[in-house]
Structure 1
């Protein structure tokens, strides 16, 4: 509590300031007052402000944090926990000079990540949680038709190198792929190979957990550029038909719970919101392409699913790749002719044959096991 004398002194001081300020301004030149203020700030005020760079910026990753961490990586020790960025009074805005070779530093230390919507372990307010993606599959190891493999790699190369072309033609820099084939034919391995080839992070999106279009919007906006969004089993997704949506919209008096709609999905893939993000790839998968007929044709057209990739049952070319991977045989073998004849009449997946090849490291024993498996199939 202030004493009576302290309150009286404060009132007198305030009154003096009120009375004297107009007199001082009228008698003393403004330039002189400005110089006094500058001298006071120089000696008694700090000449810098502190900026804190958060890892996230709203729904997205903070690119300034990545830039700052790259720049400071060569100037601080690993034990540093707090980084302060200064700005002097004379600077109009914060400046940040990037060290030469910053992109090389980022690329050399880049670790691919697999993102999923994990609300239990994820950070509150974040749409995704992540783990390091260490899948070893590459295009060279895929048990896939060589011609189809080459076509897909060429398509990916063309996509990532045509940013300016997409801008020139007025098209969002995105690409959609549909992978279809029976379970065990390598769809997940192909996605991992694409991620390793392009050095893109992977986002695994489960549509069954989406409750509304607004939630879907937050999810898409929180993904990074140059990434792969995976939507598995698209034929099983419960999407409201657009005709039903229009009928329901005609009755504005009915209060409905927000829901996830096909129009909302199309809007982010090939609509207005598709321009939010660059260099993004969306991969849809299904075990049975015929089931896709129940979906709206707009979802299957170019612009949404630009390239359809069939993942068939194992062929002889794919089998030889598996033998090279598991047994180290890159040439011919006496049992190959027998196995080729059996594969023509059997429906077997790469996953099934890979399991047989794991049973022995002896090529002869392993291949005889494959023959017996195919004969009993």
Structure 2
């Protein structure tokens, strides 16, 4: 793919720059981002840069130079993967363009009193968090595994649709107060450029309120459910567990 008046080149470059594996390349250029403190990895270099990618379990290699992108894929995977992969690149490029000037926000659920209307029970604020995925304190192997899992998930929407599953990924974080669970969730949201919805289950929510809260979230967002242990232990376990499971895996999830 050559750069001269090539729409696909620009979109593919944006896609490659979004890959988490770009950080593992032997050589990339660093530039200041649009926001204070942001550092952007770039392919604008005279040296060839090799970036690895995977799609539908196929290994894909990009050789990137300033005005040229070379895609390498095994011949046995070409027919199965190439066209869906190009379609995937276009979808990711569209998302990148939409998020380019978007301000990330964090949403907090309100407490409900007797007779309160459960509609509009989110308060939002600009999402500014000092931590990043690289600075969060976590075992390097675990961090690499989570990052790889997120990257694989982002590419799997077509597969989820094919098998009739909701495109969603869940993680269970366990630990005492102050051990960094919420911070880790915040860094994942920043890594994905997703809005963060922070649901505090200690605010006396029933199953219906949980469903409405979920229906008011936006697509491509990260939903953090806090105080799950309090919710399960503080009420009738059967009812609480059923409500939580329906919230996480029900029809409206």
Give the TM-score normalised by structure 2: 0.55
| SS of alignment partner, residue 263 of structure 1 | helix
Within 2, Cα distance between the matches of 1:124 and 1:166? 31
Within 1, Cα distance between the matches of 2:176 and 2:155? 32
| SS of alignment partner, residue 175 of structure 1 | coil
Offset at residue 152 of structure 1 (A): 0.5
Within 2, Cα distance between the matches of 1:195 and 1:119? 24
- Equivalenced residues, count: 155
Residue 104 of structure 2 aligns with which residue? 112
CA deviations on 1:290-315 (whole Å, 9 max, x unpaired) are xxxxxxxxxxxxxxxxxxxxxxxxxx
Offset at residue 239 of structure 1 (A): 4.4
Gaps of 5+ in 1: 1-100, 246-260, 275-377
| Structure with greater contact order relative to length (CA < 8 Å, sep ≥ 6) | 1
Offset at residue 124 of structure 1 (A): 9.4
Residue 242 of structure 2 aligns with which residue? 263
Within 1, Cα distance between the matches of 2:181 and 2:174? 8
- Residues 122-133 of structure 1 aligned to structure 2 (within 5 Å): 125-133=119-127
Offset at residue 146 of structure 1 (A): 0.7
TM-align CA RMSD: 2.5
Change in 2 beyond 3 A, CA 1:145/1:236: same
Within 2, Cα distance between the matches of 1:262 and 1:154? 30
Residue 249 of structure 1 aligns with which residue? none
Change in 2 beyond 3 A, CA 1:103/1:152: closer
- Please say if 1:144 is aligned against 2:129: no
Residue 202 of structure 2 aligns with which residue? 208
Give the TM-score normalised by structure 1: 0.38
Residue 154 of structure 1 aligns with which residue? 148
| SS of alignment partner, residue 174 of structure 1 | coil
State whether residues 207 and 247 of structure 2, in contact with CA within 8 Å, keep that contact through their aligned partners in structure 1.
no
Structure number with greater Rg is 1
Change in 2 beyond 3 A, CA 1:186/1:214: closer
CA deviations on 1:15-62 (whole Å, 9 max, x unpaired) are xxxxxxxxxxxxxxxxxxxxxxxxxxxxxxxxxxxxxxxxxxxxxxxx
- Please say if 1:236 is aligned against 2:230: yes
- Please say if 1:221 is aligned against 2:215: yes
State whether residues 118 and 212 of structure 2, in contact with CA within 8 Å, keep that contact through their aligned partners in structure 1.
no
Within 1, Cα distance between the matches of 2:153 and 2:211? 24
CA deviations on 1:137-183 (whole Å, 9 max, x unpaired) are 11111221111100010111111211111112222111111112233
Offset at residue 105 of structure 1 (A): 4.8
| SS of alignment partner, residue 131 of structure 1 | strand
Within 2, Cα distance between the matches of 1:155 and 1:109? 26
| SS of alignment partner, residue 268 of structure 1 | helix
- Residues 66-105 of structure 1 aligned to structure 2 (within 5 Å): 105=97
Offset at residue 264 of structure 1 (A): 2.3
Change in 2 beyond 3 A, CA 1:222/1:136: same
Within 2, Cα distance between the matches of 1:127 and 1:198? 25
Offset at residue 126 of structure 1 (A): 1.2
Within 2, Cα distance between the matches of 1:212 and 1:183? 24
- Residues 161-310 of structure 1 aligned to structure 2 (within 5 Å): 161-237=155-231, 238-242=234-238, 261-274=240-253
CA deviations on 1:313-350 (whole Å, 9 max, x unpaired) are xxxxxxxxxxxxxxxxxxxxxxxxxxxxxxxxxxxxxx
